[in-house]
Structure 1
Amino acid sequence: MHRGVSRRWALQLAGCAPLALGCGMALAGRQLEEPLADAVRTALSASVAGGGEPPQPVLGSPAQQLDYHRWLQQSSGRLVRYKSHPDDRQEFLQTLWYEARRAGLSLSLVLGLIQVESAFRKYALSSAGARGYMQVMPFWSHLIGDGDERLLFQLQPNLRFGCVILRHYMDREAGDLSMALGRYNGSRGQAAYPRAVLAAQRLWLVEVD
C-alpha cells in the first residue's frame, strides 16, 4: 500500500479527518455506473422508495428491545466525538438501525463504512461528487431514484441508498465482502479500502450486531 494512502486511512480510522474533510470534502472513491438489468433496476428502485421521518425499529420481543437499547447506548457513547447533541445521535442511530436491518447488513459494518467514507459528516462531498454519510454517487438518484440528487444529503435517503447499494454489491459478489466493499468504493480488487472499512468496523462491534 502506498504510504500516502496508508496515512490517509490511519487518520480517518483515528477519527482525525484530513484537511479536505475539514472543508466539507470527502476522500471517497468513485462508484462506477454500470448497466443494470431491468429486473434489477426495478427491484433496487422499489428498495429505495419511501422513507421520511426517522423510522421506529420493529422490536418484537423484550429481548429484541433490550438488544436495541444496549446497542443504542453503547454506539451513542462512541458517536459523541462526531455528533455532540444526543438528539442528533438518537436520530442517526435509530435510522441506521432501521436501514441496515432492512438491507440485511451488519450494523457495525455500516458504521465502519460511514466512518471511512465521510467521518460522519452529513454534507460530505468527494472530489468525484459522492454525497453524504455513505458517499452515494448522484447517478444512483437518476438510475433507481426520482432524480433529486439533493436528497442524498438527507439522513434517511442517504442511508437507504447506501445500504441498498452495498447489499446489491454483496449480492453481485456472492457474499464476498472484500470485493463488495471494493466495488462500493470503485476500487474492486484492491485491498486498501476493504481493510480500512473492516478495521473501522471493529471499533463499532456490539454484542447484538
Structure 2
Amino acid sequence: MGIDSLSTMSKDQLLALESNKSYSDDNNSEDGLQFALVMKALMDNSKKTSEGNEKLQGMQSLQNTQTTPGQRLDYMQMILNDNSNSINNTSISSLASQTNDDTMKKIYSAVDEASKRYGVNSNLILGIIKQESDFNPTVTSGAGAMGLMQLMPENCKEDGVNDAYDIEQNVQGGVKQLKGYIDKYNGDIAMALMAYNAGPGTMQKRGVSSAENLYKMPKETQDYVPKVMSYYKNGI
C-alpha cells in the first residue's frame, strides 16, 4: 500500500492496522516509514485541532463576560480600583462636610451663648469671627493670635482662656474682651472694633477720639472696621 492510500485512511483505521501488524515494524522499510510519517501528520493535526478548540472555548468564555470589545482584564481591574477610590473619596468628602457642619453648629451655639451672656449682638460677633479667622478655630496668625477670634496670649490670661483653640473658650474670651471695649467707648461699635483690631494704645498714640478718625489708624484697621460693620448691619 502506498502513501496516498495511507493518507486517505482514518486515524482509527491506521491504528488498527498498526495493532494487527499489517505493516512491517521495520523502520527501514518503505511502508514502515510511510506509515510513521502519516501517523505523525495525523497526530500533529489532532493536536492543532485540540488547541484550536481550547482557544475557541476561551473566546466564547470571554464573550460571555460583561466587557467591552477589545477591553483587557488589567484595564477592568484599573476601573474597579478607580471606582473603589471614588467611593472612598466620596465617603471622605461626606465625612469632611459633616465635620464642618458640626464645627459650625458649635460656633453658632457658642456665639449665641456669649451674645446672651455679655449682651453683644450675635451678628457683630460673627462678623469679627468671619474677618479674623473665616470660621477656622485652629488658625494662628504670624503675630501669635489664636483661634476664631484671634486671641493674643496675654488676652487669654486676662480672660481666663486655657485653650484658645477651644471654640467655646475662644468665643467667650473674645466677646468678653469686645464687651469691655464697647463699654469703654460708650457703646460706639466702630471705636470698639478699632480697639479690638489694633488695641486702645494704638488709638491713643494716633489721636483717635471718634469713629471719624479711622483714617488715622493702620491700613489693616481701616479695612477691618467697615467690613465687620457691614456684617454687623447686614448679616454674613
TM-score, normalised to structure 2's length?
A: 0.47
- 1:105 and 2:136 are equivalent in the alignment: no
Tell me, what secondary structure is at the counterpart of 2:127? helix
Tell me, what secondary structure is at the counterpart of 1:125? coil
Residue 224 (structure 2) aligns with: 193
Alpha carbons 1:116, 1:200 under 8 Å: kept? no
TM-score, normalised to structure 1's length?
A: 0.52
| Selected match of 1:87 from 99, 102, 105 | 102
Higher relative contact order (CA 8 A, sep 6+): 1
1-structure distance, mates of 2:98, 2:149: 16
For structure 1, the residue ranges without an aligned partner over 5 or more in a row are 1-81
Residue 164 (structure 2) aligns with: 152
Amino acid at match of 1:182: M
- Call closer, same or farther: CA 1:83–1:116 in 2, change over 3 Å: farther
| Selected match of 1:167 from 165, 179, 182 | 179
For structure 2, the residue ranges without an aligned partner over 5 or more in a row are 1-96, 204-213
- 1:118 and 2:158 are equivalent in the alignment: no
Amino acid at match of 1:171: D
C-alpha deviation, 1:170, in angstroms = 0.6
Fraction of identical pairs, as percent: 28
C-alpha deviation, 1:143, in angstroms = 2.9
C-alpha deviation, 1:124, in angstroms = 1.3
Amino acid at match of 1:91: K
- Call closer, same or farther: CA 1:204–1:174 in 2, change over 3 Å: same
How big is the alpha-carbon RMSD for the aligned residues of Structure 1 and Structure 2?
A: 2.2
C-alpha deviation, 1:194, in angstroms = 1.2
Deviations 1:106-150 (A, max 9, x none): 11111111100111011111121111000111102223426x4xx
2-structure distance, mates of 1:183, 1:134: 14
- Which of these two proteins has the greater Rg computed from alpha carbons? 2
Q: Alignment length, in residue pairs? A: 121
C-alpha deviation, 1:203, in angstroms = 4.7
1-structure distance, mates of 2:133, 2:198: 15
Amino acid at match of 2:165: F
- 1:133 and 2:148 are equivalent in the alignment: yes
Alpha carbons 1:166, 1:180 under 8 Å: kept? yes
Structure number with the higher helix fraction is 2
Alpha carbons 1:136, 1:152 under 8 Å: kept? yes
Residue 193 (structure 2) aligns with: 181
1-structure distance, mates of 2:190, 2:233: 15
114-123 or 86-95, larger mean C-alpha shift: 86-95
Alpha carbons 2:145, 2:152 under 8 Å: kept? yes
C-alpha deviation, 1:193, in angstroms = 1.9
Amino acid at match of 2:229: L
Alpha carbons 1:83, 1:89 under 8 Å: kept? no
